[in-house]
Amino acid sequence: MLMKLAFSTLGVPGLPIPDVVRLAAAHGYHGVELRAHPEEPVHPGIGAAERAEVVAEFKAGGIEILGVAGYARVAAPGDDDTVVAEIKELLDLAHDLGAPFVRVFPGASSEQSVEEADATAARRLGTAAEYAADLGVRILLETHDSHRTGADAIRILGLVGHHHVGSLWDVMHTWLGGEEPAQTYAALCTYLGYVQVKDIASAEDTTPLPLGAGVLPLADCVELLSREGWDGWLCWEYEKRWYEGAAPLPELLGPGREHLGRLLNDSA
């Protein structure tokens, strides 16, 4: 059983793809999660030629594209067609890049009831699920914002009930939501696409830190996943884009890879 390691381009905002691939290869990462935002090199607005160039860069470097991290908010108030169209654009991009996953957010409003938000998200995800299946790409609902725990996410996923709609476990948000790793895994295990790891100083200070330097239960998460025989991806999401004062990610990638390697070895 071997988990694969990746990092998100959220940690290196705007970095050209050749440089992203070189960083991954130089520091022993197996893959990269591409943040799909218009300010980044890769997003749904790029054309077929640009997409082919991205694929060629990753292939030449021997690095996999783990997923496309989109910003569709599936539980948000508004028009279903607009949200579904956004998800489909992300799915098309992931398919063209050969990426197995697309990340979406819950994004419910405080004005919605829990039941309304869950039903809205499930309806939209269910509509997009068949399109995802046709493309061979899986939509992953991240534990985030309005649905930050596994218990929150499973309410939506259970309503959808489709293999091509799963979960992305962000360990910071489930921890901030007061959920233990074992509780999160129990809720999401049958839906789990991959796991985002990170570290922070406290619930009050979420500035990204080097892996192992903060309070998040990374060792517990890795030990649990290993014990359960889970062999998916661990993706380091270092939120440099939102915290300009955080240390640059490139200089942390090597030590971060070593830290994750130690956790995997200790849990083997």
Among residues 157, 239, 245, 253, the alpha carbon closest in space to that of 198 is found at: 239
Residue 260 has a pLDDT of 97
Whole-number Å distance between alpha carbons of 51 and 92: 11
Three-state SS for 237?
A: coil
Which sign does the torsion angle of CA 193, 198, 202, 204 carry? negative
Domain count, the chain: 1
Largest CA distance in the chain: 49
* Residue 268 pLDDT: 79
Closest by alpha carbon to 170, among 216, 121, 119, 220? 216
Reference 141, options 41, 1, 158; nearest CA is 158
Predicted TM-score (pTM) of the model is: 0.98
Partnered with residue 233 across adjacent β-strands are 4, 194
Give, in order, the Cα–Cα distances in Å from 82 to each of 76, 141, 236: 11, 17, 30
Predicted confidence at residue 1, as pLDDT, reads: 47
Cα–Cα dist 98/256, whole Å? 26
Structure tokens at 15: 């970095």
What is the C-alpha radius of gyration for the chain, rounded to an integer number of angstroms? 17
Spatial contact of 254 and 27, defined as CB atoms under 8 Å apart: yes
Residue 114, Cβ neighbours under 10 Å: how many? Answer: 13
Chain-centroid distance of CA 13 in Å reads 16
- pLDDT of 221: 98
The domain in which residue 49 lies consists of 4-267
Distance CA 34, CA 22 (A): 14
User: What token pair was written down for 24?
Assistant: 């991954």
Report the alpha-carbon distance of residue 171 to residue 194 in Å, rounded: 11
Q: Which residues of the chain have pLDDT under 50?
A: 1
As a whole number of angstroms, the distance between CA 192 and CA 170 comes to 11
Interior angle at CA 261, CA 267 and CA 248, nearest 5? 135
Six token digits for residue 29: 């990462």
Residue-wise pLDDT for 93-150, tens only, equals 999 999 999 999 999 999 999 999 999 999 999 999 999 999 999 999 999 999 999 9
Distance (Å, rounded) from C-alpha 34 to C-alpha 28? 17
Residue 95's CATH number? 3.20.20.150
